[in-house]
Amino acid sequence: MIFDTHAHYDDKAFEEDRVELLTSLPDNGIGNVVNVCASINSLKRILPLTEAFPYVWGAAGVHPDYAEEMTAETLEEVRQVSRHEKIVAIGEIGLDYYWHKEPENHKRQQEMFRAQMDIAREEELPFMIHSRDAAEDTLTIVREYMNKGMYGGILHCYSYGVEHAREYVKMGLYLGIGGVVTFTNGRKLKEVVGEVPLERIVLETDCPYLAPVPYRGKRNCSLYLPYVVTAISEIKNVPEEEVIRVTEENARKLLLQEQM
């Protein structure tokens, strides 16, 4: 069954039908979902969701957009939440220079990124990285941490080129692929998907964002992942069942720490 490695069901976009939607997933081929923290507030919202559904897991972390609001207490909260038995990763953490241009802010983002990578290392959890317009700095920090020894991780919503993709694959990391691969202007990502072995790809929605074609621009949810599966199967010329099977195995190994 499909493993959605990156969703935000605590978002207010799901206020009206969250329970019905999450309840309907297993009957529609979605076997597991990781609900990923984005804001500082979502640290408080994810645990009840993971407790209500056996197939919903969580990731604890704070998105770089909130780097300036983060304090030592926030980091302590990330650590405490990460120790809950349904929390399977630290994320989403990383760098976003698209929305923030000031050098001081970039410095703060890097500090908070490193501090949360430290938590991932100490708690022996995989990391989930958000990176936008920060290709070089992300690669530098990830490489530094992989050299220190990390459990593993995912480059969520991978948006850079083939060169960096090869570097991450060499480090044993996974690329999170979602709706963008179905976009007609997603040529760069299609090239990356063609290049990277299926053994290094995991599926993700990033819902409510980035719905695949034909729902582009609408609210996304895990039920639309079959469109992403079709796109990957066409690019790589492998059957859809194999895309689902291998990406699920990848996610189970990394996130549920299952031996396969």
Q: By CB under 5 A, name the binding residues for Zn ion.
A: 206
CA–CA separation, 180 and 158 (whole Å): 9
- Minimal distance, residue 105 CB to Zn ion, in Å: 20
Tokens of 141: 């920090």
- Minimal distance, residue 100 CB to Zn ion, in Å: 17
CA–CA separation, 123 and 79 (whole Å): 8
Q: How many CB atoms lie within 10 A of CB 149?
A: 8
Closer residue to Zn ion, CB minimum distance, 35 or 74:
35
Instruction: With CA atoms as reference, report the closest residue to 172 among 194, 195, 151.
Output: 151
- Minimal distance, residue 94 CB to Zn ion, in Å: 10
Closer residue to Zn ion, CB minimum distance, 206 or 248:
206
- Minimal distance, residue 238 CB to Zn ion, in Å: 27
Strands (E), 97-173: 127-132, 153-155
Closer residue to Zn ion, CB minimum distance, 4 or 206:
206
Closer residue to Zn ion, CB minimum distance, 210 or 236:
210
- Minimal distance, residue 8 CB to Zn ion, in Å: 6
Region class of 45: left (phi > 0), else alpha (psi between -120 and 50), else beta: alpha
Nearest residue to Zn ion, scored by beta-carbon proximity = 206
CA 115-120-121 angle, to 5 degrees, is: 95
Closer residue to Zn ion, CB minimum distance, 89 or 165:
89
Q: Please identify which residue in the block is written with the tokens 């990830």.
A: 142
